[in-house]
Amino acid sequence: MSFDPDDLWVDAIQGLNHVPPKQKRRIYRIAIVGAVGFSYLIDTLLLIIFSSTGTIHSIAPLVYGAAGLGHVAIFSTLHWSGFSERFANRQMTAWQMAYAVGAQLLGITFAPEIATFFLGILFIIFAFGSLRISFHHALVIWFLSCIAISITLALNHNVKITLSHPSKAEDLLISISFALILLRTIALGYYGSLIRKKLYERGLSFEQQATHDPLTGILNRRMLISTIDEQISLYRRKAIPACLAMLDIDRFKSINDIYGHAIGDSILKSLAEAMHMTVRESDKLVRYGGEEFVMVLAATDMHEAELLMERICQEIAQHSWPALPAERRITVSIGLTEILPRDQASDPIARADQALYLAKRSGRNRVVTTASPIPDALDSE
């Protein structure tokens, strides 16, 4: 499914949670058309005031207001019917810009005395359009608009296109008109900055989903290889040691079977939080799969890593879990290995997995390193 920019705002619409997403998108697009209609209303009211002072003919606000109503009616219908969804740009921005430019040309034709007012509104139109269309399409519309404006002004060459000796009331109206044009342009700029912010937040969200486990919030398995590669590279270049520990919750299946998967998930989340608080910021904690976790311990030799893992193992065994009965304890088995400069990323994972297997077979609730002797119980097998 392709990304729809309208989705940046659709979820923020209040009171429409029961409405299907497609309908919510249509409602949002109609709301944008409504905002455009409100802009037409502001300009129509200003034209009515200009007309009341005798500056322009009284037909001008009627024509311009009708054009504004037509804009709202046409594009709202196209959005509500779903016709606009046939276009790559579902807001039909280019078409709305073309219509709005045409409305300004009508304004110049019927009220040439304040042609600069309508020319100023073009800044609002292009500020609106630049949020949705490509630079190439904006240039095309700009070029065609310039031609259309030149023709319109040429056709009205016998009429003054500006006020030669405006009255004080007209001066005030002109000042108010351009102040409102500037205010709407600023509002569109602010709206554009909100879009950029939401796009940035959406990008962070996608990155979070791609690199982090949704249940525990820690790194997911796909990040493990690159993390190990970084440590191997550091070891090769600067002889900085690193270790990898693979941790598995003992008899976790029985927890899910007896207490349910919801309790099991809460245990996984709590355990991940506890381990994340224990390791340093430079270390990486990864959910490897199911109830297995991997820790990549940066700038840590084997002795330091073993002490840390022993402490984690003991703390987990002594910890009480609110979601479980007081007598039920959780233990973990840990396989530990050193990351070596000759390693490929898969090598320390394989060694830690083998050490974890030995920890499980030798009684659980313990740390076994690749250098640890194999327990007697296993020698006899």
Which residues are the active-site residues?
291
- Angle, helices 93-110/59-81, rounded to nearest 10 degrees: 170
For 252-271, b/e burial (b = at least 16 CB within 10 A) is beebeeebeeeebebbbebb
Using the 8-state DSSP alphabet, how is residue 133 labeled? Answer: S
Element (H, E) at 364: none
| Beta-bridge partner residues of 248 | 292, 333
Contact 173, 53 (CB under 8 A): yes
- Paired with 336 in beta bridges are 245, 369
For residue 165, the SS3 value is coil
Instruction: List the 332-339 sheet strands across, edge first.
Output: 284-289, 292-298, 242-249, 332-339, 367-369
Of 264, 292, 287, the closest CA to residue 276 belongs to 287
